[in-house]
Amino acid sequence: MALPFRALFLGPAGENAQIVEDFILEALRDHVFWRRNFHPEDGPFIRESDKRSEAYDASLMRLRQELYYLLSRLKQGAPLFSPRYIAHMTSDVLISSLVGYFAAMLYNPNNISEEAAPVTTELELEVGKQLARLVGYGPQAWGHLTSGGSVANLEALWAVRGIKFFAPAAAMVARELDLPDLPLKRADGKLTTLQAMTPWELMNVPLESVLKLREHLLRMPDPQILRRLDACSVASRGMLGFYRAFERAFDAPLPEPVLLVPATKHYSWVKTMDLLGGGREQIIELPLDEHYRIDPEAFRAMLEDLAASEVPVLGLVAVLGSTETGTVDEIHRLMEVKRSATRLGMDFYCHVDGAYGGYATARFRDPQGQWVKGPYDRAAAASFEALPETDSITIDPHKLGYSPYPAGALVFRDQRIREFLTVDAPYVFHEEDEPHATIGKYIVEGSKPGAAAAAVWINHRVLPLDTTGYGALISNTISCARMLRDALASHRSPEGIRLIPLNEPDLNLVTFIALPPDVGTHADLNRFNEEVYKRFAIHPNRRVFSYEFLLSKTAFDVKKYARGLHTRLDPQVWSMLEEGRPLTVLRSTIMNPFTKDMIEEGAFFSELLEALDREMRDAHGLVFGASKALEAR
């Protein structure tokens, strides 16, 4: 098998243990002897006689004792390394990132600034560039690492808020300081001036025009302008003060913008709007089609409705791999709708939540960096191909990047966007003739591990972000997920319990329900699937080695997922569902690079289905009792 990863993972049976051992020791010794070369005249500090003291021995004893205790506790951890773990989107990590993280952790750099982390800050910015290239952003892009997707999404929306309210803030300043007319483009492309814009137009200035307006204002000679721009910003005044000031200045209300997200709505968006003081109420969910993707026509209709009532859009969030079903939104179609909305006078930011699916872009990029459609996924390819049209993207190296936690990333298409996030800390960021590239100025977090940057950076060097590297690895797991879907669909348990797949995998995630022939109500269906789930889920009181396989679950909102469910369920099951009750769904992510081996050897599906049959039988007895329907079969 020519796949490029057999040497790159520790392996489900630790087959590459010797490689890891060698490198870990090499990294450790390399670091130790590095230490010894910095002012050798100072040492040694810990003398051999110290090592023979009682105090030393006592603390060494304690260290050893507690480490053994920790090692023994860790053994009850989830077996993420095994192809039998097909639950959440996590798996084994690449050896390169394991060793890279460890090697850098010995130096313990803090990527808040290059002064505290001269090397790993550079590595982080290189990673940002690599991810920008991957998704097709140009040389003006800027990216960095975060602790995870939630923080990346928060940061993106923080920037979006600053951008959306920039033109209204500038309009206040222009009026206050009686500035000369400032030319500015409206959403429909017509040139007008900042001063002539209506509140609705101010909330729909195209991103590029906002960026240019800002640059123009900053170049104006009057230093007062910069100070007033800062003082009038939403960052300074807060949401409430900003709106009040605008209404005072213009004697007209500023319309409040809404955030558009797919109805699959990851909870981090709810959290983010809450955090930013925008309010969860200002989130509008876009209806899903039968593949659980945003329905572009519903999106178009929504924009028309919003335009008709002059409700501006803060931003659109498109999803590259939803956490529930791994669904990839049709970004190309959404962008087309977005473009056409300019004739309605609307313009807005587009952020892609590719925390899960961002790395899958590597399936469409050849080693020369050129776009390739590949033999597969015409629809998906078009989605990924449209990424350069979006404004920013969240990508988590700790998901399909096969890096250890913590590693999320945010990439802006245009580095000028990050200026909307700047807060200065005088003792960390030095402005006068600054030789350093700072990251801390532009982020939600403060101190952050440089080791994470080293881990992601070396992964990208070892496994290229193209069809020969990550592309091949991820395609391998997607094909497993598709095989799993088919295997579930064609299976029939001895008791006649069916497994109904609820999605066709865009990525490596399969959802399904187990459907006994005698189930009569939505509540019973849920109870049964809950019982099945419990048998495949980590429980603190069950030995981890006793599991055959591990699965996860999720809950579908029946109303939001209606089109997909209606398509995939028998009319009799569909009619059983209650709109107000979530549907409990079994969920399986195949991320392990070795699952395909196990499938090809024939063991994987037979053992999984056997385990499911056994547990379903057991769950059935518990939920329904000794059912006549099943006995009769």
Give, as ranges, the residues between 529 and 568 that touch a second copy (CB under 8 A): 530, 537-541, 544-545, 552-555
Q: Does 30 sit near a second copy (CB under 8 A)?
A: yes
Cα gap 501→602, rounded to integer Å: 21
Residues 581-620 that bind a second copy (CB under 8 A): 582, 587, 594, 597-598, 603
The residue (of 178 and 431) whose beta carbon lies closer to a second copy is 431
The residue (of 209 and 264) whose beta carbon lies closer to a second copy is 264
Q: Does 138 sit near a second copy (CB under 8 A)?
A: no
The residue (of 77 and 183) whose beta carbon lies closer to a second copy is 77
- Angle (nearest 5°) at CA 561 between 557 and 562: 110
The residue (of 141 and 259) whose beta carbon lies closer to a second copy is 259
The three-state DSSP-derived secondary structure of 535-546 is CCCCCCCCCHHH
- Report strand pairing: 142-146 vs 183-185: unpaired
Please list, in sequence order, all residues whose beta carbon lies within 8 angstroms of the beta carbon of residue 404, skipping any fewer than 6 positions away: 93, 97, 98, 101, 398, 452, 455
How many CB atoms are located within 10 Å of the residue 267 CB? 9
Please list, in sequence order, all residues whose beta carbon lies within 8 angstroms of the beta carbon of residue 422, skipping any fewer than 6 positions away: 441, 442
| Shortest distance in whole angstroms from residue 92 CB to a second copy | 8
- Find the part of the chain contacting a second copy (CB under 8 A) among 131-139, 227-235, 310-318, 515-523: 227-235
- Find the part of the chain contacting a second copy (CB under 8 A) among 51-59, 285-293, 340-348, 572-580: 51-59
Whether the bond between 406 and the residue before it is cis, its omega within 30 degrees of 0, is: yes
Cα gap 165→113, rounded to integer Å: 29
| Shortest distance in whole angstroms from residue 591 CB to a second copy | 12
Residues 387-406 that bind a second copy (CB under 8 A): 396, 398, 404-406
Q: Number of residues interacting with a second copy: please give it, by CB under 8 A.
A: 185
| Shortest distance in whole angstroms from residue 101 CB to a second copy | 7
The residue (of 209 and 554) whose beta carbon lies closer to a second copy is 554
- Find the part of the chain contacting a second copy (CB under 8 A) among 455-463, 473-481, 483-491, 623-631: 455-463
Q: Does 27 sit near a second copy (CB under 8 A)?
A: yes
Cβ 358 vs Cβ 474: under 8 Å = no
Q: Which of 177, 240, 252, 379 binds a second copy (CB under 8 A)?
A: 240
The residue (of 34 and 297) whose beta carbon lies closer to a second copy is 34
Cβ 520 vs Cβ 576: under 8 Å = yes
Q: Does 301 sit near a second copy (CB under 8 A)?
A: no
Residues 117-136 that bind a second copy (CB under 8 A): 117-120, 122-123
Residues 465-524 that bind a second copy (CB under 8 A): none
Q: Does 627 sit near a second copy (CB under 8 A)?
A: no
Tell which residue, 458, 441, 437, 407, has the closest CA to residue 118.
437
Contacts 24+ apart (CB under 8 A), 529-538: 529/553, 529/584, 529/585, 529/586, 530/584, 531/619, 531/622, 531/623, 532/586, 532/612, 532/615, 532/616, 532/619, 533/584, 533/586, 535/615, 535/618, 535/619, 536/87, 536/586, 536/611, 536/615, 537/87, 538/78
The residue (of 26 and 305) whose beta carbon lies closer to a second copy is 26
Whether the bond between 44 and the residue before it is cis, its omega within 30 degrees of 0, is: yes
**How many whole angstroms from its chain centre is CA 587?**
18
From the number of C-beta atoms within 10 Å of its C-beta (0-12, 13-18, 19+), residue 351 rates as buried
Cβ 600 vs Cβ 526: under 8 Å = no
Residues 276-295 that bind a second copy (CB under 8 A): 276-282
Q: Write each residue from 61 to 100 as x if it is in contact with a second copy (CB under 8 A), else as -, in one continuous string.
A: -xxx-xx-xxx-xxxxxxxxxxxx--xx-x-xx-xx-xxx
Q: Which of 128, 132, 133, 158 binds a second copy (CB under 8 A)?
A: 158
Q: Which of 128, 136, 143, 148 binds a second copy (CB under 8 A)?
A: 148
Q: Cα Rg for the chain, rounded, in angstroms? A: 27
SS3 144: strand
Residues 324-383 that bind a second copy (CB under 8 A): 324
Q: Which of 223, 426, 580, 602 binds a second copy (CB under 8 A)?
A: 426
- Report strand pairing: 509-515 vs 583-589: antiparallel
The residue (of 99 and 386) whose beta carbon lies closer to a second copy is 99
The residue (of 136 and 449) whose beta carbon lies closer to a second copy is 449
- Find the part of the chain contacting a second copy (CB under 8 A) among 202-210, 267-275, 489-497, 515-523: 267-275
Q: Which of 435, 571, 602, 625 binds a second copy (CB under 8 A)?
A: 435
